[in-house]
Each structure stands twice: as structure tokens, then as C-alpha cells.
Structure 1
């Protein structure tokens, strides 16, 4: 590789890592939608998928706040925070391919605190979201019951 050729992640790589987070998050929400389709009562409220999924947890997993699922919920909350500031709060982005630490975004959270997410952090977030999705698929829920309006 010639000396003058950039060798570190650039803005294109940074954008691809953010896209990976988005795609993996949509896969996670698809798992949640599958559970909503099986267990949510007819006419269930609309809104964010994660919030609706949490609302039906007591129906499909009465011990939802115990053990493994409790940890999974905490992991989802942590990943959701990072994903949400990445999606809704980017203040600046850098993709300097001549610096090893040159690919990052600075995001504002709802309290207007700023967080720097480097490309490695973003790729780790994508992997964490996918790990959560795979764990969610393994959770054993109550036997499938047709949704009823009495729930």
C-alpha cells in the first residue's frame, strides 16, 4: 500500500457501521413483532415496538422480571439508548482515513449530554443488538394462545 493511501476507516465506513446498527435493530424489532402478532390482544395500541413488547411480557412470560429475561431487558434498554442517540442525536461525524481514531460521531442524548461513539463502538453495538436478538429467539414463552380482547 502506498504511503499516501489512507488506511483507516473513512466516512463511508462510518456510515456503513451506522447502517449495520439500523439493520440489526430492525431484525430485533421483527422478533418482537412476531411475539406481538402471537400474543397481543386485538386492537392493541400502536406505538414503539419495544414499548408494546414490554407491555405484553407479563402475558407471555409471567416471570419476565426474574432471571435471564430480566438481564435481557436490561441489555435491550442499554442498546436502545445507544441506538437512539445514534439515530436521533448525531451532532457531528468525522471519517478521517489518515488517523486511527478518526472515524466517529458525536451524539446528543435527550438531556443534551454529548457522547462520542467511535466506529468500533458502533460495530460493537451492532453485534450486541444481534446477540440480543438471538437470545430473544431462545426465550421460552407461554404456549401460544389466540389473542383475545379480555387481556
Structure 2
């Protein structure tokens, strides 16, 4: 290996990005919680996951747009849920491009892999979603 070869993401880089996804999810949940509180649902959100209450609220308040509004949330929730509940293995070889990957085992045993680039893209999507719920209230 020569000094001029690029160094690709390491295991620490991968773990950092996993943590970023989980932190971004927390910010999105906080935004959902704030909106649900403003909608007068303080008591309901004390019980159960915020995402469940968010789904119910969006379906009831925006029935014609519910799929459009929930689809991007469900997409990032899927990634977050795999990372939080189903992590199976991590791999990263700084000398091999594209090797920084986390594998997650679904309840049915199917393995799902997320590259470091997938995790970075999820964080970008989270950032966009944190703003989107705010637009809902401005528009109503």
C-alpha cells in the first residue's frame, strides 16, 4: 500500500454516521412532539411512540395528503428502526472503497445492509423532514 492510496471510511466513521442517524431521528421526533402538543394532544403523546401518534394525526388532519406526508417519514423511520433494534454486524476496511456497511437482521431473518453513504443520505432526509412538519402548520 502506498501513501498515495485513498483512505476510505473506517469503523469509527461508520459508527459516527450510525449515531448521526439516531440523533437526527431524535430531532425529528421532537418536532413531531412539538406539533402534536400545539394540536392539543399532550395527554395522548405520553403513551406510546410519538411516530404512532404522528401517523394518526396526519391521517386525521390531512386525509387527502396523508400518504404524501407520511411516506418520507416512513422511509427514514425504517432505517432508524433497523439501526436501533436490529444491528447485526459492522464492517469497514479503510483500504477498500465501499466497505463501510452495517448489516441489520429483520425479525423475519432477512439481512438489510446500509452503506455509510446510505446513512449520510438518511441524515439529509431527516434534516429536510424536520422543516416539513413546520410548513404544515403554516399552511393550515
TM-score by length of 1: 0.80
Hey, what does 1:101 align to over in structure 2? 98
Instruction: Work out which structure has the larger RCO, using CA pairs closer than 8 Å and 6 or more positions apart in sequence.
Output: 1
Tell whether 2:114 aligns with 1:113.
no
Deviation track 1:13-54 (CA, whole Å, cap 9, x = no partner) reads: 001111111111111001111012122445325110100122
2:79 to 82, 85, 90: 82
User: Using a 3 Å threshold, how does the CA distance of structure 1 residues 84 and 128 change in structure 2: closer, same or farther?
Assistant: same
Cα distance between partner residues in 2 of 1:42 and 1:126: 28
Whether contact under 8 Å (2:92, 2:99) holds in the other structure is yes
Alignment of 1:120-135 (within 5 A): 120-135=117-132
User: Using a 3 Å threshold, how does the CA distance of structure 1 residues 57 and 142 change in structure 2: closer, same or farther?
Assistant: farther
Whether contact under 8 Å (1:107, 1:116) holds in the other structure is yes
Give the paired residue count. Answer: 138
1:56, distance to aligned residue in structure 2 (A)? 2.8
TM-score by length of 2: 0.86
Cα distance between partner residues in 2 of 1:89 and 1:114: 9
User: Using a 3 Å threshold, how does the CA distance of structure 1 residues 80 and 58 change in structure 2: closer, same or farther?
Assistant: closer
Tell whether 2:52 aligns with 1:37.
no
Cα distance between partner residues in 2 of 1:92 and 1:26: 23
User: Using a 3 Å threshold, how does the CA distance of structure 1 residues 87 and 36 change in structure 2: closer, same or farther?
Assistant: same
Hey, what does 1:65 align to over in structure 2? 63
Hey, what does 1:54 align to over in structure 2? 55
1:4, distance to aligned residue in structure 2 (A)? 7.8
Greater helix proportion: 2
Which stretches in structure 2 are left out of the alignment for 5+ residues? none
Structure 1 stretches of 4+ with a deviation exceeding 6 A read: none
Whether contact under 8 Å (1:91, 1:107) holds in the other structure is yes
